[in-house]
Amino acid sequence: MKPGLRINRFQVDGFGHFRGYSGTPGPGLTLLYGPNEAGKSTLLAFLRGVLFGFEKRGQPERYEPEGALFGGELWLETASGPLVVRRHGGKRASEGALTVHDPEGQLLPETLLHQALAGVPRELFFEVFAFRLDELASFHRLAQQRGVSEELFAAGMQGARRLPEAVERLRKDAEALYAPRGQKPELNRVMKDLEEVQQALREAGDRPALYFSTRDQLAERIAEGHALEVARKHTEHELDHASRLESALSDLTGLARDRAELATLPVLDTFPPGAETRLEDVLQRRKTYRAQQAQLHERLAPIEEARERLAAPWPVRERAESLRTALATYSGHSEQLRSLPARRASLTSRRRQLEQSLGELGLAVDAGGLLALDLGARARGELESLAGRLDAADTALAQAESEQARTREERARLETTLGRVQAELTALPETRPAQVRQRQAAVGRMRAVRGDLERLAEQRLEQRRQMDGVRAPTDAVPLRSLVPMSWVVSAALVALGFAALAAWIAGPSVGVLCAVGGLLLVGLLLLVRHRVETARKASLEAQAARHRWRQQEEERFRSAQAAMSAREELLQRELLNASGAAGLSPGASLSDLAAQESLLAEQLTQAERRELLVREEDTLRTAWDAAVRDDQRVEEARLRASQREEVLREEWMAFLVARRFPEALSAASALTLWLDAAALRQRLLDLRTDEEEFTVAEAACDAVTTRLLQEARAAGMPPGQAETVAARVSVALEEVRSRAADQRHLDGQRGELLAEKARLDQLALDEDQAWEALLTEGGCQDEATFRRRAVQARRYAELAARVREHVQRVQALTGLGENAAHEEVHAAGGETGLKEQLATLRERHKAEGERHKAVLTEQGSLKTQLSQWENDDRVSRLRIQEETLRAKAAELATRYAADRLTLALLGRARRRFEEEQQPRVIQLASELFSELTAGRYRRVFIPAGDARELRVSDGAREWSAEQLSRGTREQLFLAFRLAVIRDFGETRGALPLITDDVLVNFDPERARGAVRLFAKLAEAHQVIAFTCHPWLRELFEAEGAHVLELPGATKSPREGAQPLRVVSSG
């Protein structure tokens, strides 16, 4: 059994309802057990998808989760070493992104996975190695798939691995050359091109006659074109003249009408232009100016009244500056005035609080004594320094005690760990890892040498087949000449004899002719003999060269055989040495090698563990010695810290007694008491300063209040409280400012209105003068007469402009004056006659133009045709192309015939093989099916013919698969698949078998037999089965299966990743 592939572990990152699931199948028989909807089919689809790619989007077996990671990875054990295969779904490729790496994470080529699968295609793996119940139940689909059928046939021929590839390649080559109804194959395209070339040759016809006939037609068309060109120019001239007259008809009619109306109006050339508009503008402006003058008068009256009211006398206004100064001074001290009572009460309260705090401080001094105490920075520095040293001594003592406890705990821990390591060392064998690795290397060399021996045997077999081909007999070449020279001499003598006989009977001339004819025949015979002799000599030389080449090949074969024998002897010696080093016999089987490797791997693990524990024991002993020394050092440090603390404590008590502080105070309490006393002394000093400031502020506020009251009395305001008087003064001053602002605003408005009134008066006067000037310019005395003459002047100007425009247009269109144009129209019969003449000319011009265009087109076509015929070598090129295509078609037809003949011969050879000898797969299937059915059926076979149909026999009768019951038919198909797997493992490599509930239709006895076959197959192949039936689980457990239990299908995805639970293990 050749080494193949085994699944050591799978990890599902996201597939179906699985998130983060993992499992570890056993190397032999493994059962994954779970209820319905637990995910058995999902896991089967996951294993197939990671190995060969996920299903296309939209397929139900894709199992792509929504909005989550899609994919996972497999840990594989292969002949080339362990592999980790990872495949995750992406947006581009539906089959997912594949990565292959080793367990250390180093990327490997994807071809290693293809090699590990022994080149098995996706369809064959899904139908034979990893299948469900519905796939097991149909052998017809398995047999009808061309690729799968030929793979099975090749597997049964033991070594014809490349037969499906060769048949498929020949079929593709033949289809690429020719298809009966196709267009893209090469021979179809060549035949189509050849047909088109032959059609073009037929269409070419008789060129000389066509050439001269075409030249005559061209001359006729040239003459006709010249005549048409002259007639067309004459018609164009007449048509242009008539068109100009027609376009001027409307202008001539309008000109006569406008001249008649213009004669009815007076001459108004001097009337001012736009007079009516100017009149309306002047009248509108006069009306606007007069209305604005009336509005200005109404706005000036209230302004004058307000100015007189504000000019009345007021006492506050005369003393406004002194009042403003006194009020500003009072306002600057207002906040201080309002805060005086509160400040007085605050100072009294602060003094009471300070006296109370002094009593609570606990010092036997009053306020004056406290102020007399020396609580400066120097004394405080001495206190803090002494307190800091005392705290540092206490901290050092505490740290020393803590360090002592830690070192003792570490010493105890190290002693416990050292005891555990020594106990584990006693339980492990005394073996060095280097010795175990040497034995592992020897086992590896045995595998490599045995592989080399197998390859050497295959090479030797291939060399023998090549030598048999070299020694195959060839066609014999005749040694003697096929046409001897004597035949030529005899023929010459016979010809001369007939010539002499003819000269004697018919005369000399006939004899000479007969002699010449005879000599020609003899010359032809000599030419034939020369060619035959040349061909025979070439064949003899080729036969001699082939003989020399055969001798060289035989010599090379003997050299290669000698080298292979020497190589085989060296490999045998190396195998003997490696087996001696590995402790095995040279003929040990692969299972013995695998068992030895497992044993050596376990021994290597134990040896490495012992070596690690020895190093760990040395490290722990070193650490324990260091812990003992640390314990002694820490004890000495603790004693020194204790002595230092006692000395500082005595110095602290002496310091407190010298400064009348309580002796029992701690360093922190003494420092706090010192700080509180210093803060209280500073607060007493601040209180004294605030009382002095309050007295000064109170005197200043009294002076400011007195001045404000005096100024208010002088301004005639009633007496009252200071704040009330200040408010009255503020209101009065605000009113003074308001009246002054109003006065300034009214003066500004009055000046603006007076200036506007003067401007409007001047504008009204200007408009009156413009009105009088406009009437004088129009020669009118009143407005009504002016408006009537303005309307007549506007109509007169319009008619004059239209007359000039009509005259200019008639001259531009016809090139004639007004009178000449009228005469031409009258000569043509008026407007109606002119239009009829114009229609006739247009039709004639159109017909002549179309005919001239057709003649020119025909001339161009004839000239192009003549030019092509004069310069065209198309016929000769078509002949060359025809011969080329004929030769290519003949070559492609020969290749196509050879490919089809080869396919037919291969098919005949396959049918003959099936008729004469059933493949080994069928023999294995017979044995397995007999064991599954407890001997009920003895033989399985495939009848001769193209139909891939399995039939069974019990020795007396035959049945087809359709005639069997469903359970028996499924057992037949299972036996066939197991036979293919066993034969595949022996010839190409052992691949795992993965099934999903394929035994549910078996009765208990045959199901037990199937599980027993699975267990036998698991000795060389990994077998993974899925089921939800407890009775099948019991059968698998009875055969020592490794059982993994799947969680229920109702598990919430939020529960997170849960690995498969191992229930039992064989």
| Residue-wise pLDDT tens digits, 777-800 | 767 777 777 777 777 777 777 777
Rounded CA-CA distance 1002/1054 in Å is: 39
Judged by DSSP in three states, 517 sits in: helix
Which is higher by pLDDT, 26 or 282?
A: 26
Per-residue pLDDT at 688 exceeds 50: yes
> Based on the domain organization, do 460 and 571 belong to the same domain?
yes
> Based on the domain organization, do 577 and 450 belong to the same domain?
yes
Domain boundary among 588, 618, 638: 588
> Based on the domain organization, do 490 and 597 belong to the same domain?
no
For 914-972, strand residue ranges (E) read 939-941, 951-953, 958-960
Q: For position 1056, what pLDDT does the model report?
A: 42
1020-1045 b/e with 16+ CB inside 10 Å = b? bbbbbbbbbeeebbebbbebebbbbb
Beta carbons within 8 Å of 222's beta carbon, 6+ residues apart: 859
pLDDT digit string, tens, across residues 793-824: 777 777 777 777 877 777 777 777 777 777 77
Q: For position 993, what pLDDT does the model report?
A: 93
In a domain, 808, yes or no: no
DSSP secondary structure code for residue 184 in this structure:
S
pLDDT digit string, tens, across residues 976-1010: 888 888 888 888 888 999 999 888 889 999 999 99
For strands 71-78 and 81-88, give the pairing: antiparallel
Rounded CA-CA distance 439/442 in Å is: 5
In a domain, 616, yes or no: yes
In a domain, 1060, yes or no: no
Rounded CA-CA distance 833/827 in Å is: 9
Q: For position 1053, what pLDDT does the model report?
A: 39
Per-residue pLDDT at 580 exceeds 90: no
Q: For position 100, what pLDDT does the model report?
A: 92
Lowest mean pLDDT among 4-13, 41-50, 329-338, 432-441: 329-338
Which is higher by pLDDT, 11 or 252?
A: 11
Per-residue pLDDT at 294 exceeds 90: no
In a domain, 118, yes or no: no
Find, among 352, 342, 344, the residue nearest to 683 by Cα: 352
Q: For position 148, what pLDDT does the model report?
A: 46
In a domain, 249, yes or no: no
For strands 1042-1045 and 29-33, give the pairing: parallel
> Based on the domain organization, do 395 and 478 belong to the same domain?
no
Beta carbons within 8 Å of 504's beta carbon, 6+ residues apart: 511
pLDDT digit string, tens, across residues 192-244: 888 888 787 777 655 656 667 777 887 887 888 888 888 878 887 777 777 77
Rounded CA-CA distance 280/286 in Å is: 10
Query: Which range of residues forms the domain containing residue 390?
Result: 377-427+593-658
Rounded CA-CA distance 841/243 in Å is: 10
For strands 993-996 and 1023-1027, give the pairing: parallel
In a domain, 509, yes or no: yes
If one counts every other C-beta atom within 10 angstroms of the C-beta of residue 71, the result is 23
Q: For position 1032, what pLDDT does the model report?
A: 92
> Based on the domain organization, do 584 and 440 belong to the same domain?
yes
**Across residues 442-465, what is the average pLDDT?**
84
In a domain, 990, yes or no: no
Confidence class for position 472, pLDDT limits 50, 70, 90: low
Per-residue pLDDT at 619 exceeds 70: yes
> Based on the domain organization, do 904 and 884 belong to the same domain?
yes
What mean pLDDT value characterizes the chain?
A: 78
8 Å CB contact between 87 and 97: yes
Both tokens of 1012, joined, read 């027993």
Both tokens of 914, joined, read 């099936």
> Based on the domain organization, do 549 and 615 belong to the same domain?
no
Q: For position 456, what pLDDT does the model report?
A: 86
Q: Which amino acid is at 200?
A: A
Judged by DSSP in three states, 1027 sits in: strand
For strands 1023-1027 and 29-33, give the pairing: parallel
Which is higher by pLDDT, 817 or 108?
A: 108
8 Å CB contact between 706 and 326: no
Find, among 68, 76, 56, the residue nearest to 8 by Cα: 76
> Based on the domain organization, do 622 and 676 belong to the same domain?
no
**Across residues 68-79, what is the average pLDDT?**
88
Per-residue pLDDT at 142 exceeds 60: no
Beta carbons within 8 Å of 277's beta carbon, 6+ residues apart: none
Lowest mean pLDDT among 526-530, 634-638, 867-871: 867-871
Whether this model's pTM surpasses 0.85: no
Rounded CA-CA distance 319/311 in Å is: 17
DSSP 78-94: ETTEEEEEEEE--SS-T
> Based on the domain organization, do 341 and 458 belong to the same domain?
no
Judged by DSSP in three states, 75 sits in: strand
Give the Cα-Cα-Cα angle 1046, 1052, 1056 (nearest 5 degrees). 75
Confidence class for position 163, pLDDT limits 50, 70, 90: low
> Based on the domain organization, do 492 and 557 belong to the same domain?
yes
Domain boundary among 564, 588, 612: 588
Give the Cα-Cα-Cα angle 139, 145, 147 (nearest 5 degrees). 125
> Which range has highest mean pLDDT (13-22, 217-226, 531-540)?
13-22
Q: What is the CATH number of the domain that holds 609?
A: 1.10.287.1490
Find, among 239, 253, 235, the residue nearest to 835 by Cα: 239
Confidence class for position 380, pLDDT limits 50, 70, 90: confident
* Number of domains present in the structure of the chain: 4
Which is higher by pLDDT, 957 or 309?
A: 957
Domain boundary among 571, 588, 605: 588
8 Å CB contact between 86 and 71: yes
> Based on the domain organization, do 437 and 534 belong to the same domain?
yes
8 Å CB contact between 330 and 708: yes
Per-residue pLDDT at 288 exceeds 90: no
Q: For position 149, what pLDDT does the model report?
A: 47
8 Å CB contact between 50 and 11: no
> Based on the domain organization, do 530 and 569 belong to the same domain?
yes
Q: What is the CATH number of the domain that holds 454?
A: 1.10.287
Share of the chain above pLDDT 90, in %: 7
Q: For position 471, what pLDDT does the model report?
A: 66
8 Å CB contact between 1044 and 32: yes
Q: For position 186, what pLDDT does the model report?
A: 83
Per-residue pLDDT at 30 exceeds 50: yes
Q: For position 1013, what pLDDT does the model report?
A: 92
Per-residue pLDDT at 1054 exceeds 70: no
